[in-house]
Amino acid sequence: AKDYEQAVKFYSAAIELNPGNAIYFGNRSLAHLRTEAYGYALADATRALQLDRSYLKGYYRRAASYMALGKFKAALRDYETVVKVRPNDKDAKLKYQECHKIVKQKAFERAIASDPHRRSVVDTLDIESMTIEDEYSGPKLEDGKVTLTFMTDLMQWYRQQKKLHRKCAYQILVQVKEVLAKLPTLVETTLKETEKVTVCGDTHGQFYDLLNIFELNGLPSESNPYIFNGDFVDRGSFSVEVILTLFGFKLLYPEHFHLLRGNHETDTMNQIYGFEGEVKAKYTAQMFALFSEVFEWLPLAQCINGRVLIMHGGLFSEDGVTLDDIRKIERNRQPPDSGPMCDLLWSDPQPQ
């Protein structure tokens, strides 16, 4: 396996000896990209270009950093530079086209976000008419409801890498959307001194890691509450399994199982990092559109006992952001490129 953290150390040592070498900064930028330290990757790529404006890989690295940080317009400018210099570079052209498509989609999303007549996918579904075939032997909701038996059966079914019937998946999505839409943007909870809550970070489609968490720490229950702090999907191959399991527990224990939105619960990240493709492969494009709607209703932060504040990002670009400012955010949308909602989801260190 490639040890990128070690590579960062070696390039850092080389930079100390020769701080004017653009290639060292470009290579360290790549190592930072591989370790998902996107802010540092951006800083190094920018420094490489300050040292040598003609260093083409610097534009490439900076574009990749901007993409990972959700700064798609800035990424597009750098990819444009690469394509102009190397018009026959297939990889550069592909990345430019992908980025251009995302920039156009973001503009479209901004336009429809303000449309009060936007129709929900839920309105186009007829779940009752969906039939579960006789040969399907997997878990089913009991009278349309999630139960503990259903959840234990579901996890076992998923452990065997089998697919939940689409009717059950749609039932979970429709119901969890209803539950999430009733929640405030900032969820406020109280714990007694004798109570605890387990906070979990990114799961990124790693279903077997999720099972391991429950095996080590116990299944969610009213006496064993959890907060999953965003980035449930993308990258891993079992994002559908992870998110439907989490949504199932949210329905089972709405007051004791909490889900907060991360920057990967967004359309652009899902396009780039695999969740959209996974949902379309396992189910349909219509189901991905419903996932997108549900993600928009995920709360952005949680405050415990007025003392502990939990959010996926939260290093605000402006000083003085208050809990009241968070409460007032209208979250039912794709995140903007800047402002408190963006900052709550994104917080990679970046050069100012």
Give the pLDDT of residue 116. 63
In this structure, what DSSP letter does residue 188 have?
A: E
pLDDT band at 313 (very low <50, low <70, confident <90, very high): very high
Residue 310 sits at φ, ψ, to 5 deg, of: -120, 130
The total number of residues written for the chain in this structure: 352
Residue 347 has pLDDT above 80, yes or no: no
Looking at the fold, whether 183 and 207 belong to one and the same domain comes out as yes
Q: How far is Cα 81 from Cα 143, in angstroms, rounded to an integer?
A: 58
Query: Does some domain include residue 224?
Result: yes
Same domain (yes/no): 146, 265: yes
Residue pLDDT, tens place only, 22-31: 999 999 999 9
Contact 202, 262 (CB under 8 A): yes
Residues 260 and 302 in one domain: yes
256 among known catalytic residues = no
Same domain? 47 vs 190: no
pLDDT in tens, 323-336: 999 999 999 999 98
Note the pLDDT of residue 102: 87
Q: What confidence tens digit (pLDDT) does each residue in 58-115 have?
A: 999 999 999 888 889 999 999 999 999 999 999 999 999 989 988 888 787 767 665 6
Boundary (domain end) residue, out of 113, 140, 170: 113
Residues 104 and 160 in one domain: no
| Residue in the structure block whose two tokens are 């592909």 | 94
Q: What does the alpha-carbon distance between residue 272 and residue 255 come to, in Å, rounded to a whole number?
A: 33
- Sheet containing 198-200: which strands, arranged edge to edge? 198-200, 226-229, 257-260
| Token output for 132 | 């579960």
CATH of the domain at 331: 3.60.21.10
Residues 248, 330 share a domain: yes
- CB-based contact 258:302 (threshold 8 Å): yes
CB proximity list for 70: less than 8 A, separation 6 or greater: 263, 266, 268, 269, 335, 337, 342, 346
* 352, part of any domain: no
Helix axes 285-296, 275-282, angle to 10 degrees: 130
Q: Are residues 91 and 201 in the same domain?
A: no
What tens digit of pLDDT does each residue of 230-241 get? 999 998 899 999
Q: What pLDDT does 115 receive?
A: 63
Contact 337, 308 (CB under 8 A): no
Query: Is 285 within the bounds of a domain?
Result: yes
What pLDDT sits at residue 1? 46
Task: Check: CB of residue 31 under 8 Å from CB of residue 6.
Answer: no
Instruction: Name the residue among 99, 71, 17, 40 with its Cα closest to residue 26.
Output: 40
- Name the catalytic one among 32, 204, 258, 264: 264
Please state, rounded to an integer, the average pLDDT across all residues of the chain: 93
Domain count of the fold of the chain: 2
Domain of 251 in residue numbering reads as: 121-345
pLDDT of the residue at 113: 63
Assess whether pLDDT exceeds 90 at residue 204: yes
Estimate the crossing angle of helix 38-51 against helix 22-34, to 10 degrees. Answer: 170
36 and 150 fall within a common domain: no
What's the pLDDT score for residue 107?
A: 80
**pLDDT classification of 36: cutoffs 50, 70, 90:** confident
State the number of CA atoms in the 13 A half-sphere of 204 facing the CB. 7
pLDDT exceeds cutoff 70 at 119? yes
Residue 45 forms part of a structural domain: yes
Q: What is the pLDDT of residue 2?
A: 72
| pLDDT given at position 276 | 95
The answer to whether residue 348 scores a pLDDT higher than 80 is: no
How many CA atoms lie less than 13 Å away from 318 in the CB half-sphere? 9
Q: Which helix (H) or strand (E) holds 342?
A: helix 340-345
